[in-house]
Structure 1
Amino acid sequence: MRRTWPTRLGVAGGVLGLLLTTACGGGDGGGGGQAAEEGTTRDDGPVTMRMSWWGSDTRHAATQQLIDLYQSQNEGVTIEGDFTGFADYFDRLATSTAGGEAPCVQQQDTRYVREYADRNALLDLTPYIEDGTIDTSNLDEAVADTGKVEDATYAIPTGVNAFSTVIDPAVYAQAGVPVPDDASWTWEEMVDTAAQVTQATGGQAWGMQAMGLNGGDTNFEIYAREHGEALFDEDGQIGFTAETLADWWTIEKQASESGAEPPPSTTVEVFNGGVDQALVATARGASGFWWTNELPALTAGAGRELQLMRFPTEEGDGQTGMYLKPAMFWAISSDCESPQEAALLVNWLINSEEAVNIVKADRGLPVNTELRDQIAPQLDPAGQAAVAFVEEITPDLQDPPALPPQGAGEVQAIMQRYTEQILFDQVSVEDAAEQFMTEVQSAIA
């Protein structure tokens, strides 16, 4: 299991606090405000910056193309790529941040923006937005301010997406099992159908990938929102009951015991393989749970058309807990020695037609709505399917949840750990739910 920054704090002791106080001006709240005011321009000489991101092989290749193009257009600018899978990304970022060597430009996630901002590890981008270095005028209003903490902007969204069910119609056809109607299917129907697929294929293909591992906290969040609850409420407190979590984990346990999911050992192995080893990406499964922007990578792995579907609901009434969210963010480290150049790069990444033509919808449907409209017809079939799906479901979605509290980055790892223990019969769903809530409360306290 990966360790998030708070865990790294235990390893690094008090060094991180000292480093951030020295590098970021301590408690001035600016996170590098002096550098933002004075600026660093290309006239100062050659600039070398590190840029970090997580993702699939497809994203790595596209991002390297972005770097190569930007360097070719900006003489004297060198960008060093630093990438890994999501499972290791924030462990690695925490370590480099604790050592005062955070990448200048870094891909960020909703779970961590407040965490890093509150620790003065991110640059306040407000001065760069106000002076036009970062142009936010064409950003999707639904997510444009999602990187703000109080009155400061610490991150700019790359795009929008939705967490969804991804299916492989060919596996359903192979099993002779009809694809469920996602406008009316229930959680029970999802598990039953998945078990039928496994049985009909003699185990050559599994019906579904585990809910509680890949994106498990978001998967549960959708379930909780269907029940009028939330992962975290508007005040940053736990917004769900242990009973609701136990009910959701019971569905997971039933999926495992019925053969809808692979055996626990295989489930963990598949999860550790990331998007490239997903069941639907390797023709080993009928369904899984992924973000809409991951459909092109999944499709590339599968070598055939995959399909996006809504999450099931308790009553089969289509009253979903799904929502649109910032796919991810671009942020700048408060330690960055070239903040002006980093801001120019971020602006180019979100507002350049050339950049969008390269990355397409891999980091979500482009946050720049003008470029989104331009790029949609040029996307590959998987990208166009993601656009169509998001447009179709948007009217039925709930509002995005509040920005999670500091410490929320630990929740996914806690969820994964307890899911594994449940699958391996090491803890009951009821005890896991109570212990999970206790750990999450401690993480955000």
Structure 2
Amino acid sequence: MTSSIRFAGRAGLAWRTSAVLGAGVLALAACNGDSGAAPADDEPTSEGSSSAAADNGDTGNVEIRFSWWGSDDRHTLTQEVIDLFEEKNPGITVVPDYTDWGGYWDKLATTVAGGDTPDVMTQEERYLTDYANRGVVADLAELGLDTSMVDESVLTSGTIDGKLAGVATGINAYTIVADPQMFEDAGVEMPDDETWTWDDFKQISQEISDALGDGMYGVQDYGGNEAGFNIYARQHGESLYAEDGTLGYSDATLESWWQDLVDLRESGAMPDGSRSVEIAEGGPEQSLLGTNSGAMGFWWTNQLSAISSAAGRDLVLLRPPGESEFDRTGLYYKPAMFYSVSATTEHPEESAKFVDFLINDPEAGALILSDRGLNANTEVRESVSAQLDPLEQQAAEFLADVADEIVDGPPAPPNGAADVPEITGRINEQVLFDTLSAADAAAQFTSEANAAIGQ
């Protein structure tokens, strides 16, 4: 008999809780069968349909379905990867099944609820725990997946209740992107990112704003992304989430973090509320860095190329402030996304073989490059580095440089964590417009985040 292996991937930062919960109770008892969800109008309709997964009988061929989300460029690239896998693995045919990010989580929840769980699926960290706790995904370690060249802290991020629920497709880090030209124009020296403190960061930001005048700023607001606070909390020996699935920080630490943002805004080092909201809605292209009106911002390392392109000049990566200020560092590797295997797949060996190919095969890595984050396999990442563009190479070098400084990876976010980005952004806006103090914002965030994760 043949079966379908489905793979799913992500690009973007929109989170949709309804995608996981809206399909109702996930049906886990049914074995992953040959029928798939009907493709949307813009998805493959011949190879991706349920009839494509029919029993090939005397041919002995196994058909596996590989589903993902993303842009047209990703679809084209992924087909090349599929072709290479089929060439290297005669007897396994990979059927593409893709959609865009907007419809992915609804589709995944629906197929799982219908007993048609993708054999190989891509997960995002905020949803992985939910699917793992429901028994949807297999333990990749039990399937014998080779993870010997994946950093232990990265594996931790995909490990839930002692089981490897997902292996990272690639990694990013949330850190400072800076414009050396802006520093030079302001007459301010670039900081030593191995030693600078949060007070240094605030002072430098204000010095740049004061030197460059109206409409120019030292730093862009960064309070709307909880990853920044997670780094700050980790530096203080805490964490956004604890190992037991609860919140892992004190309100005092969160208040201090938001108070820094208030101080930056009040000093003029950061734009006011209206301008900050407008900038945030515009993405990298409309950022302070992208419009040559700001010297620094917190961004993911994989966004360096896009922001530099918008700026029209090369920007650089810096460690977050405070990495040497406290007893430990806070920076961590974030999996761009995860590959997971269905717990009910009829073809666990082929599923694991496909995932192994995606993360461990140098030729596959040479095709994928940075499309799903810089490869989590350190050997593959190094082997393809010469093929990356100069800014991607800078990101790869940065990630390698900080490897010895990263203490560990944060625990996987608990069920309900998909709601936290919206909570963070909404409360941050209230701080920006002075409708909440830093202390009140911390208390409200904790209350709402606890409710979201069922605490």
Q: Does residue 1:243 correspond to 2:252, yes or no?
A: yes
Structure-to-structure mapping, 1:429-444, within 5 angstroms? 429-444=438-453
Structure-to-structure mapping, 1:16-55, within 5 angstroms? 16-17=24-25, 20-21=26-27, 24-25=28-29, 49-53=66-70
Give the equivalent residue in structure 1 for 2:132.
Answer: 117
CA distance in 2, matches of 1:200, 1:103: 56
Structure-to-structure mapping, 1:344-423, within 5 angstroms? 345-423=354-432
User: CA separation of 1:25/1:401 partners in 2, compared to 1, >3 Å: closer, same or farther?
Assistant: same
**CA contact under 8 A between 1:193 and 1:207: conserved in structure 2?**
yes
CA distance in 2, matches of 1:255, 1:116: 40
CA distance in 2, matches of 1:40, 1:223: 54
SS of residue matched to 1:308: strand
1:191 to 202, 220, 231: 202
Give the equivalent residue in structure 1 for 2:49.
Answer: none
User: CA separation of 1:316/1:126 partners in 2, compared to 1, >3 Å: closer, same or farther?
Assistant: closer
SS of residue matched to 1:139: coil
CA distance in 2, matches of 1:314, 1:138: 26
CA distance in 2, matches of 1:361, 1:67: 12
Bigger drift between 102-111 and 336-345 goes to 336-345
Shift of 1:314: 8.9
User: CA separation of 1:347/1:282 partners in 2, compared to 1, >3 Å: closer, same or farther?
Assistant: farther
**CA contact under 8 A between 1:32 and 1:124: conserved in structure 2?**
no
Structure 1 residue runs without a partner (length 5+): 54-59
Amino acid at match of 2:140: T
User: CA separation of 1:231/1:387 partners in 2, compared to 1, >3 Å: closer, same or farther?
Assistant: same
Shift of 1:6: 5.8
SS of residue matched to 1:198: helix
**CA contact under 8 A between 2:323 and 2:329: conserved in structure 1?**
no
Shift of 1:421: 0.9
Amino acid at match of 1:372: R
1:126 to 127, 133, 140: 140
Amino acid at match of 2:16: T
Shift of 1:127: 8.5
CA distance in 1, matches of 2:120, 2:287: 29
Give the equivalent residue in structure 1 for 2:16.
Answer: 4
Q: Does residue 1:96 correspond to 2:110, yes or no?
A: no
CA distance in 2, matches of 1:7, 1:365: 27
User: CA separation of 1:371/1:423 partners in 2, compared to 1, >3 Å: closer, same or farther?
Assistant: same
Shift of 1:249: 0.5
CA distance in 2, matches of 1:361, 1:78: 23
CA distance in 2, matches of 1:123, 1:291: 28
Amino acid at match of 1:190: F
SS of residue matched to 1:287: strand
Shift of 1:187: 1.9
CA distance in 1, matches of 2:104, 2:171: 23
**CA contact under 8 A between 2:168 and 2:376: conserved in structure 1?**
yes
Bigger drift between 352-361 and 98-107 goes to 98-107
Give the equivalent residue in structure 2 for 1:177.
Answer: 188
CA distance in 2, matches of 1:374, 1:71: 20
Give the equivalent residue in structure 2 for 1:154.
Answer: 165
Give the equivalent residue in structure 1 for 2:48.
Answer: none
User: CA separation of 1:32/1:117 partners in 2, compared to 1, >3 Å: closer, same or farther?
Assistant: farther
Amino acid at match of 1:109: E
Give the equivalent residue in structure 1 for 2:6.
Answer: none
Amino acid at match of 1:25: A
Alpha-carbon deviations, 1:401-441, whole Å to 9, x = none?
A: 22232222222221111101110122222111111111111
**CA contact under 8 A between 2:178 and 2:315: conserved in structure 1?**
yes
User: CA separation of 1:189/1:127 partners in 2, compared to 1, >3 Å: closer, same or farther?
Assistant: closer
Amino acid at match of 1:238: L
Q: Does residue 1:63 correspond to 2:80, yes or no?
A: no
TM-score (norm 2): 0.78
Shift of 1:374: 1.1
SS of residue matched to 1:425: coil
CA distance in 2, matches of 1:392, 1:247: 29
**CA contact under 8 A between 2:140 and 2:340: conserved in structure 1?**
no
CA distance in 1, matches of 2:404, 2:339: 27
Alpha-carbon deviations, 1:165-223, whole Å to 9, x = none?
A: 1101112223332222222322233223223333433344432121211xx21111111
CA distance in 2, matches of 1:239, 1:250: 19
Alpha-carbon deviations, 1:319-366, whole Å to 9, x = none?
A: 532223434312356798998776555333222323322332454432
**CA contact under 8 A between 1:183 and 1:316: conserved in structure 2?**
no
CA distance in 2, matches of 1:238, 1:40: 48
Alpha-carbon deviations, 1:28-87, whole Å to 9, x = none?
A: xxx95999xxx988956876643125xxxxxx4652342231354449644244334xxx
**CA contact under 8 A between 1:62 and 1:359: conserved in structure 2?**
no
**CA contact under 8 A between 2:193 and 2:318: conserved in structure 1?**
yes
SS of residue matched to 1:281: coil
Structure 2 residue runs without a partner (length 5+): 1-12, 36-53, 88-92
**CA contact under 8 A between 1:349 and 1:356: conserved in structure 2?**
yes
CA distance in 2, matches of 1:401, 1:291: 16
CA distance in 2, matches of 1:182, 1:435: 33
RMSD: 3.7
TM-score (norm 1): 0.79
User: CA separation of 1:337/1:283 partners in 2, compared to 1, >3 Å: closer, same or farther?
Assistant: farther
SS of residue matched to 1:231: strand
2:155 to 144, 159, 162: 144
Shift of 1:224: 1.4
**CA contact under 8 A between 2:157 and 2:409: conserved in structure 1?**
no
Alpha-carbon deviations, 1:265-309, whole Å to 9, x = none?
A: 332233233344433234332111122233233333333221111
Give the equivalent residue in structure 2 for 1:79.
Answer: 96
